[in-house]
A and B are shown apart, each in its own frame.
Chain A
Amino acid sequence: MDVSQYLEIFIDETNEHIQSLSDNIMALESEPDNKDVVNEIFRAAHSLKGMAGTMGFKRMQRMTHDMENVFQEVRNDTIEVNSEMIDLLFECLDAIEGYLEIIKETSDEGTNDNEAIIQQLNSFLDGTANAPASAPAAEAPAGESQAGSETPVSKKFLEETLDEDEKRKLKAAAESGKNVYGMTAYVQKDCLLKAARAFLVFKAVEEFAEILVYKPSQQNIEDEKFENDFSIFFSSEEALDKIVDAAKGVSEIEDVVAERIPVEEIDHAPAAEPETAPSLPAPAAGTQAAASKQPASNAAAPKKQAGKPVTSRTVRVDIEKLDELMNQVSELIIAKNSLVSLSVNSGSGTQNQAYQEQIEYLERITTSLHESVMKVRMVPIESVVNKFPRMIRDLSRNLNKKMELFMTGEETELDRTVVDQIGDPLQHLLRNSADHGLESAEIRQERGKPEVGTILLKAFQEGNNVIIEVSDDGNGIDTESVKRKAIERGLVTPEQAENFSQKEIIDFLFMPSFSMAKKITDISGRGVGLDVVKSNIEALGGDVTVKSVYGEGSTFTVRLPLTLAIIQALMVIIGDEKYAISLSSIVSIEEIPMGDIKYVEAKEVINMRGTVIPIVRLNQLLDIEPPEDEQESLTIVIVSKGEKQLGLVVDDLMGQQEIVIKSLGSFIDNSTKIISGATILGDGEIALILDVNTLM
């Protein structure tokens, strides 16, 4: 059997199972007697084994098989869960992940047998008398669950319950002159990728028909929440035989039955209320069971949706295709912008007004198209952060410190490219908190803190940014010691250091090879640290800041843009050059009379409704000739980053525009990072994009 076409499904599903195993093994560690958790682990290991076997990954199969054996014994209460076992199970998981990595790259599992782990697994079993018997026993439960649903091929769809909405859909189709059919497809019992089969059946049917109702719901089918059969109702003008044949053509589909449903019978179909179900003639006891089971699973579906959003399961699209789509949208927006600039320059008249209206319409479409494409590219950060609890657990053991990780906002969404790249920086910040942040148990006791240290990872959206905070209740940053170190290393003179603000001192931590670790540990202190975090995050268009109170803890705040490619910007003119400032960082635009400019420490400031805001003359900053004539007032764009505000003096405003960010490339030295990119305006001219974050 050629399985290569299922490789992607296999990789995704294996990832899910590994994650579920990891979560459950963590849960098992805290409550070793929880049988539900044991069963869940057993089930995941069993599915992994089955999938690996089908795909021909023998080593992976063997590893999961032996894991399953151990769990079989745990289930039978013949061996007990201890910390040694938990450690070993995590090693197994790492090994399986290792296989998966190799599979991702080479489509083959590699040659590492992980013999040592397997032997250790088996040594757990040797402690029990019936080790050899465990293997066949392991197979049993899988068969059990299927036994219940063993029914002869029947027209199950006739017993499906339909709610009012579904009935309406079917009736509407029937009344529009189309034939309405019901169909039940039976999947082979040993089929492993049932959802994939179901999907292929739907695809085959959709060639000829429109599927109106899914039983169980489409979501449940995709989540593989069905036994060995599923039913659909569809409308079509094609011959039924053709559709049935197409559905039967899907491999591992055992049988397909279908029948036309006359319009008058739609109303007589079993109603959604379970009470009405028994009143219908039940041909087989088994199907009755299935019918009564149905409302239950229906009820479960909305509940699930109310919880975490189902992630990246429904459509799998190559990221390259999305990039391409995004590029095309970018091109479209540039083209739209040039139409807009043409329309501004053309004369007036009724014809022009109609033209203007169309341009506005086009603008609305491109904006919403961009939003849609952006949304498609968004994925929850969950896929990155859900590895962290395990990491903290390992760190806790290695460092011999008690700590707990709390996470909120895992469902926060970011552009796929950003999500792919924030893993390392976040991991580093967490390690930093665990290693440098949290104190040893003795010191914590002295300070009257709880023995178990707390690390908090909090993600949320704020305007056009996503904020991820990593905080701990540990030591905080000892600014005096950082200062000493900076002086020691000749970065500042002691006199200079005296005048440094806390922020300026903390900034030293982000300098290359400035490590505060007193001794080099496995975890951190090798000098490749916060500077890499900072540059990684800046490369994504974000920034990182720290707040810390010595003795109480620190908070690292990572701010990331929601999207990388297209932003709303304010276009400004300085001298004869045009610049774009991201709208998301702009607070307001003010016209300030020259007389209202005050000086604090020889720097220009303005007083805005009680807040003193420093101002920057962009022409000086960007080496542009200042305007010759005396001005009576200044146009100032107030921008903010977090709580900080800054006024930027510009010569003129051009207005708001949607711009496509383009990189300056690698040749031009942009180490000051004032310019974050360039954009092409409607007339083909280029405007530079100012990164105001670097000015604050």
Chain B
Amino acid sequence: MAAYIGTTEVVEEKKQFIAVKLGSEIYGIDIGYVDNIVRMQKITRVPKSQSYFKGIINIRGEIVPVMSIRLKMSFGEDVFTNATRIIILKIEDQGKIGVIVDEVKEVVNLDVDKIDKPNHDSMDNRHSFINGIGKNGEELISLFDIGAMTGEN
């Protein structure tokens, strides 16, 4: 994605992210992974699965597992409201997976070279799922490392 800005002819790489809210923080999900966004619906529990999997849902005849990011990142239980959404991600060779977010805010364009590397000094669990910090105006957006987030750990 290239955009010309003014007449300076400097090509800036832009990348689109879906900005979502989890608790009080804003997170970004690379739009390239997003297949669909659906409202919260009945999730069928799968016994004996990982605790952060809420279960499976039916997306137009397809079975899609749904994961709680909150539980995976040890944020505590999800609180379902009218704004809660399930974002269906499509992962190559592994199929679809849904992740629960508190709210979907907007689609943001971020300059690739303005994305900072996350600070890995602290061994805090949640940082291992973040692979960049973007800035949208004054707001900071933590960008999810989709591979790490959906993978085993």
Contact = CB atoms under 8 A, between A and B. Distances in A.
Interface of A: 331, 334, 577, 621-624, 662-672, 674-675, 678, 680, 684-688
B153 interface: no
B44 A664 contact: no
B129 interface: no
A667 B150 contact: yes
A671 B48 CA distance: 8
22 contacts: A331-B61, A623-B47, A663-B63, A664-B46, A664-B56, A664-B63, A665-B94, A665-B97, A666-B95, A667-B94, A667-B150, A669-B48, A678-B44, A680-B61, A680-B63, A684-B58, A685-B42, A685-B44, A686-B56, A686-B57, A686-B58, A686-B63
B95 A665 contact: yes
A685 B45 CA distance: 12
A337 to B, nearest CB: 12
B53 A667 contact: yes
Contacts of A664: 46, 56, 63, 65
A674 B47 contact: yes
B56 A668 contact: yes
A680 B60 CA distance: 10
B49 interface: yes
Given A664-B56, A685-B44, A688-B44, A669 B61 contact: no
B67 interface: yes
A interface, over-half SS? loop
A675 B63 contact: no
Contact of B97 (A667, A686, A688): A667
A577 B44 contact: yes
B87 to A, nearest CB: 14
Contact of B94 (A623, A666, A671): A666
A665 B46 contact: no
B50 interface: yes
Interface in B1-54: 42, 44-50, 53
Nearest to B67: A667
B4 to A, nearest CB: 41
Contact of A686 (B44, B49, B50, B53): B44
A46 B58 CA distance: 58
Contacts of A624: 47
Given A622-B47, A623-B47, A667 B65 contact: yes
B65 A688 contact: no
Contacts of B44: 577, 678, 685-688
B92 to A, nearest CB: 12
A669 B50 contact: yes
B72 to A, nearest CB: 11
B135 interface: no
Nearest to B97: A667
Contacts of A688: 44, 46-47
Nearest to B47: A622
A532 to B, nearest CB: 22
Nearest to B152: A669
Interface in B54-104: 56-58, 61-65, 67, 94-97
A665 B67 CA distance: 13
Given A669-B48, A671-B48, 8 more contacts: A623-B47, A662-B62, A667-B150, A668-B56, A669-B50, A675-B47, A675-B48, A685-B44
Contacts of A622: 47-48
A678 B45 CA distance: 11
B31 to A, nearest CB: 21
Contacts of A623: 47-48
A669 B65 contact: no
A672 B63 contact: no
B61 A672 contact: no
Contact of A672 (B45, B48, B67): B48
A618 to B, nearest CB: 10
A334 B96 CA distance: 21
Contacts of B62: 662
Contacts of A668: 46, 49-50, 53, 56, 65
Given A665-B65, A665-B96, A686-B63, A670 B58 contact: no
A662 B46 contact: no
Contacts of A662: 62-63
Most buried by A among B45, B47, B63, B94: B47
A665 B44 CA distance: 14
A678 B56 CA distance: 9
Given A665-B95, A667-B67, A680 B50 contact: no
Contacts of B56: 664, 668, 678, 686
A168 B47 CA distance: 65
A621 B47 CA distance: 9
Contacts of A675: 46-48
- With most chain A CB atoms within 10 A of its CB, the pick from B45, B48, B96 is B48
Nearest to B44: A686
Contacts of B48: 622-623, 669-672, 674-675
A670 B49 CA distance: 6
Contacts of B61: 331, 334, 680
Given A665-B95, A666-B94, A668-B53, A680 B47 contact: no
A529 B63 CA distance: 33
A686 B94 CA distance: 21
A246 B31 CA distance: 57
Interface string B107-148: 000000000000000000000000000000000000000000
Contacts of B67: 667
A658 to B, nearest CB: 16
A315 B96 CA distance: 36
A624 B47 CA distance: 9
A670 B94 CA distance: 15
A198 B92 CA distance: 46
Contacts of B94: 665-667
Contacts of B57: 686
Contacts of A684: 58
Residue of A622, A662, A663, A668 with most partner-chain B CB within 10 A: A668
Contacts of A577: 44-45
Nearest to A663: B63
B103 to A, nearest CB: 24
Contacts of A331: 61
